[in-house]
Amino acid sequence: MDVGITIQRAYEKQHPWVDLSAIGFCYVIDFATMGQINRQTQRKRRVRRRLDMVYPLVSGTLPKSQSWPASPGAAAAPPVPACACPQCLLVMSVKATVSAAGPGTATLQPRKAPPVPPTAPKAPVLAPGAKAPDGTAMVRGSLKPLAAQGGRRQAASTPALNSASSAASPPGAGSSKVSRPSLGTLNRSHLQRLAIAQSRVLIASGVPTVPVKNLTGSSPVNPALAGITGILMSAAGLPVCLTRPPKLVLHPPPVSKSEIQSIPGISHTCRKTTKKQAKKGKTPEEVLKKYLQKVRHPPDEDCTICMERLSAPSGYKGPQPAVKPDLVGKLVKCGHVFHLHCLVAMYNNGNKDGSLQCPTCKTIYGVKTGTQPPGKMEYHIIPHALPGHSDCKTIRIIYNIPPGVQGPEHPNPGKSFTARGFPRHCYLPDSEKGRKVLKLLLVAWDRRLIFAIGTSSTTGESDTVIWNEIHHKTEFGSNLTGHGYPDINYLDNVLAELAAQGITEESLVQEKD
């Protein structure tokens, strides 16, 4: 907050720039370009001025008597009573830890400020939501005892940080005067200890914890960003404390070959697919004739394919099928009516596998197949339980599709495609419903419906193997990404997704036939 006050004061005075070295940060803010320049690395980044802060420590224009000193040697400002909200507690206790005393001081002490002059007017008490008039400051109570207590707790838990802060103090600094070292003087391990110590203080005070990543230092992101994240979240009215995130468990413990079992009722443990070309010999008109009834008197409504009236000729302007544009047909199962001309054009633009899907209600006619590239699917039982399914073992499915060249049924025939993340491991509970899902997934695999070639929604890469609207659980022992267990609705959801692809229990009978 003190940095924001310093920048705001310089902005209101129409200064071209402001140097933050006086308050412990090696930055220069250029108001002309709205940029921040690091004086050590010369790195530049853009900044912006916001007027929608949720918990401002000071409201309104600061009087001249409360302005920050222009240089380190200038007189210190009279104190402003601090806010007692959780985010200000976080800020003040972090400052108390960073601003360690000089050499020879064993514990952290709160910074002493000069007494308020007796002639200084007392800040008026404002109603909630009211704006402070110009020249006044809005305060929310003193935080000095809490900040001092938090500083002493952290001093006891982070001795290495105390010594580093003391070493960073300028020469000649005594125990009675506290300097403000730059965060640049602290190395990575000290920043980590600072964040963890601050978490302990807030946990002890009963503040709810929020997991923040990169706190363990396993990422190149500076751990100080985790602290900034907590401060910003608390500024939105959320009391937070930084904790280490839960661990992602993608795979089960190692399993030997002797522990792997085949699945009862399912032959083999592996299934391969090859490029299956669409059946030839029947024209699109002959295929659609099985699913349609002619309509002599079309209803007074639009064709949902070309959006022209059914009583008028089809509005399709592409390659003309060998049917009259004014013929109208009705699908026998769902009863939806379309121009026959439009249905033939839709079939020619699809997979041409002898099946048809109603564009209105998605009812499937015939056996729908996909464009999945060749690959291998393995499936077996491992002796481990999934979260939420402790009463049974686990079915593990391993998909493996190599990169290759796209065929005539793919988006870009003759162009190579990539296959990222293979082999992909997926998991089902070894229960009655889990085995039913597996049997239907085997049908979907044979019909080439589990994968497709397209553009990845996660990486943006085109001409790559992607999932094809049948969700799988790829996270074994956790559910941090949403693709793990426990998920009580998953098996029912995936059965509905398989049914949307035309794969139901009736499909199992058809496959046997």
Distance, in Å, from the CA atom of 360 to the CA atom of 79, rounded to the nearest integer, reads 70
Q: Do the Cβ atoms of 11 and 49 come closer than 8 Å?
A: yes
- Max Cα separation, the chain? 101
Name the nearest CA neighbour of 9 among 81, 60, 84. Answer: 60
User: Which pLDDT score, from 0 to 100, does residue 484 have?
Assistant: 94
pLDDT at site 146: 40
Which of 17-31, 271-285, 318-332, 397-411 is predicted least confidently?
271-285
CA quadruple 189, 190, 195, 197: dihedral positive or negative?
positive
* Domain range annotation of the chain: 3-46, 266-274+369-510, 284-352
Over range 48-57, report the average pLDDT. 63
Start-to-end C-alpha separation, the chain: 74
Which of 106-110, 127-131, 472-476, 506-510 has the largest mean confidence? 472-476
Instruction: Give the predicted TM-score (pTM) of the model.
Output: 0.55
Per-residue pLDDT at 83: 63
State how far the alpha carbon of 78 is from the alpha carbons of 103, 115, 118, 125, 173, in Å.
27, 7, 12, 19, 21
Residue with tokens 């699908």: 331
Cβ–Cβ under 8 Å, residues 37 and 30 = yes
| Pairwise pLDDT comparison (252 vs 318), residue with the higher score | 252
Give domain 266-274+369-510's CATH number out of 3.30.390.130, 3.40.50.300, 1.10.760.10, 3.30.450.40. 3.30.390.130
Q: Are 132 and 126 in contact (CB under 8 A)?
A: yes
237 has pLDDT over 50: yes
CA distance 174 to 182: 18
Class of domain 284-352: alpha beta
Q: Is the pLDDT of residue 155 over 70?
A: no
Spatial contact of 192 and 198, defined as CB atoms under 8 Å apart: no
Residue 282 has a pLDDT of 76
**423-455, pLDDT tens digit by residue?**
999 999 999 999 999 999 999 999 999 999 999
Is residue 223 within 8 A of residue 192, CB to CB? The reply is yes
- Provide, rounded to the nearest whole percent, the portion of the chain with pLDDT above 70: 60
Extract the runs of DSSP E, i.e. beta strands, from 348-474.
Answer: 356-357, 364-365, 375-382, 394-400, 404-405, 416-417, 424-429, 451-454, 464-467
Give the model's pLDDT for residue 139.
36
